[in-house]
A and B are shown apart, each in its own frame.
Chain A
Amino acid sequence: MSLAISDISKSYGRFPALKTVSLFAEDGEFLALLGPSGSGKTTLLRVIAGLETADAGSVQFRDENLLAKPVRERGIGFVFQHYALFRHMTAAQNIAFGMRSKPRRERAPEAQIKAKVEELLALVQLDGLGKRYPSQLSGGQRQRVALARALAIEPKILLLDEPFGALDAKVRRELRRWLRDLHERTGLTTIFVTHDQEEALELADRVALLKDGALEQVGTPEELYHEPASAFVFDFLGDSIKMPCTIEGGIAIIAGAGVPIVGNRVLENGLATAFARPDAFTITTGDAPGIAARVRNVLLAGPDARIDCGLEGGGALEVRLDHEQAAKLSPRDKITLLPRTVRVWPAS
């Protein structure tokens, strides 16, 4: 085990930001901290880096107690959401900053620093741009300079705080793939914070989902997506539709129709809440058991067709179908909706 975070607590005044959070990372692992804003993910990252002090708990790297050291002695690379580049220094000077900050006896000769800077510029694909000031670089380029600057100190761990949060969607996707490649090449234990589930699922070896300062679930992207531990996890990782149901003998009864339950939830008979993804619905025209509704609109643009349905009992929901099936539907059709399978959690 490379990094062990144990029982970290932190509160701001009376507001608890982290409640006894424990998390472990293997050597070379790529870990995502995912959660809505205010869930404590950034606070946890900042505690590891030493930019916040924890009220209780420990952070251990191999045999070393990290919390006992001040920020500048931790040797942790940190990449900020808004880059935090030194604006009066060129890209090269920014990257060299950490190497030049070492005490005189440990500092590498200037020629070696220069060579290392060139090497890092090449690594982040910014060859030849070393003399530019941050203001002369694009957002994506600035973030790569910031990353090179963090890598220059040869950190034990790399921490990234919403690294792509300030960039536009297209650049984000490019950088995501690039970061994954970079991680494979450097093999550095990396933790990154994001509120974008797609980013977390695509990039990380494992994802830790936080809610209100506590860990909700930790696992591989597949585990989280296919075996969500709670309604919150299911809801956070994709669009979901919530329906009231009754449990009878291990089957969910929704609007009079029985639907099989997936997941290993043992539930007692009685009222509960069923969850399904919008693409897990069967639509029948005419009378059938299930949720009675009327088609309000059929939206055919996009990879899936989206059907906007008005429920007979009031309310509305939007389900997804393939285009072939959707072509058979038109506005004002009377239909019956039923999820093929559901996940069930106690009624909230």
Chain B
Amino acid sequence: MAASRANPARRDPPWIAGGLIGIALLYLAVVLLLPLFTVFFEALRRGVEPFLEGIAEPDAIAAMQLTLLVAAIAVPLNAVFGIAAAWAVTKFEFWGKSALITLIDLPFSISPVISGLVYVLLYGAHGWFGPALDALGIKVIFTVTGIVLATTLVTLPFVARELTPLMQSQGSDEEAAAATLGAGPWRTFFLVTLPNIKWALMYGVLLCTARAMGEFGAVAVVSGHIRGKTATMPLHVEILYNEYSFVAAFAVASLLALFALVTLAVKTFLEAQFADELAAQRTR
């Protein structure tokens, strides 16, 4: 089985090839597959009924709805931002451009907990704007608003970083041609630019959605963990786990894991179909 692909100059001794494949398989099995398997195993440990109870419980349903709501707000926001930012940095030259590109990627280097913390510092009870907003009757921290803010910050770079390298390599010739043919900016965008970037956009949106639905640290800081109110699915998992309701915790977790598998399948499909159109950087 350890056939090196064809070329004699690249052929490794069979024991090395076999050994390396063995190490890689073992590592992948222990590090990746075992945790995945365990989620489903623990969820179904006591049979199907407790599993179904875990996911049908009103608080679990509320958590699912909240998770979807948060993603439905944060993802489109970041998609529009990603397009605007990629447009600005790829079609134009301006002072501070490379600094801007670095800043857009910055949230990847910030701990999720810090991403939550900063909003508490701004809008919490002792935050810069907290008391003022409170006087107006607006609450941010421990509400859905806070969860949306934190999620948006954590997932901010996903779409932009997929679009930027692609639009960089595509250049502006087609848009310029459209403009010489008399097309207005919106027409040019929808008929020329968007079709060229649609798969990369979808790819970015997919990764952004996966992260938005699964985000834990940032959301944990701003949500207040109010069951059935401000607990997203990952937070609901934590609450159940801390109450020692393991089966229910793993049941909800298995739904998230299932969603992760779907994400991987769609991701793999997009990569196989549109390899050229997706940006080379697939590391996030």
Contact = CB atoms under 8 A, between A and B. Distances in A.
Interface of A: 50-53, 70-71
B169 interface: no
B11 to A, nearest CB: 9
10 contacts: A50-B8, A50-B9, A51-B7, A51-B8, A51-B9, A52-B8, A53-B8, A70-B8, A71-B8, A71-B9
Given A50-B8, A52-B8, A71-B9, 7 more contacts: A50-B9, A51-B7, A51-B8, A51-B9, A53-B8, A70-B8, A71-B8
A185 B8 CA distance: 33
A70 B10 CA distance: 11
A156 to B, nearest CB: 18
Nearest to A53: B8
Interface of A is mostly: loop
Interface in B146-160: none
Q: Mostly helix, strand, loop or mixed at chain B's interface?
A: helix
Interface in B1-48: 7-9
Contacts of A71: 8-9
Contacts of B7: 51
A264 B8 CA distance: 45
Contacts of B9: 50-51, 71
Contacts of A52: 8
A72 to B, nearest CB: 8
Contacts of A50: 8-9
A303 B202 CA distance: 60
B238 to A, nearest CB: 49
A151 B144 CA distance: 72
B8 to A, nearest CB: 6
A45 B278 CA distance: 38
Nearest to A50: B8
A53 B7 CA distance: 9
A262 to B, nearest CB: 47
A50 B7 CA distance: 10
A107 B175 CA distance: 61
A14 to B, nearest CB: 16
Nearest to A78: B9
Contacts of B8: 50-53, 70-71
B4 to A, nearest CB: 12
A50 B8 CA distance: 7
A70 B7 CA distance: 12
Nearest to B11: A70
Nearest to A49: B9
Nearest to B7: A51
Contacts of A53: 8
A71 B9 CA distance: 7
B6 to A, nearest CB: 9
Interface string B197-232: 000000000000000000000000000000000000
B5 to A, nearest CB: 13
A71 B7 CA distance: 11
Nearest to A72: B9
Nearest to A12: B6
A88 B261 CA distance: 41
A71 B8 CA distance: 8
A42 to B, nearest CB: 14
A52 B8 CA distance: 6
A65 to B, nearest CB: 16
Contacts of A70: 8
A78 to B, nearest CB: 10
A107 to B, nearest CB: 22
A70 B8 CA distance: 8
B157 to A, nearest CB: 32
A104 to B, nearest CB: 20
B273 to A, nearest CB: 25
B81 to A, nearest CB: 38
Nearest 10 interchain pairs by C-beta = A71-B9, A51-B9, A71-B8, A53-B8, A50-B8, A51-B8, A52-B8, A51-B7, A70-B8, A50-B9
A73 to B, nearest CB: 12
A218 to B, nearest CB: 27
A51 B8 CA distance: 6
Interface in B126-150: none
Interface in B81-121: none
A48 to B, nearest CB: 12
A91 to B, nearest CB: 22
A147 to B, nearest CB: 19
A122 B9 CA distance: 30
A131 to B, nearest CB: 28
A155 to B, nearest CB: 16
A220 to B, nearest CB: 33
A51 B10 CA distance: 9
A184 B7 CA distance: 34
A214 B119 CA distance: 75
A50 B10 CA distance: 11
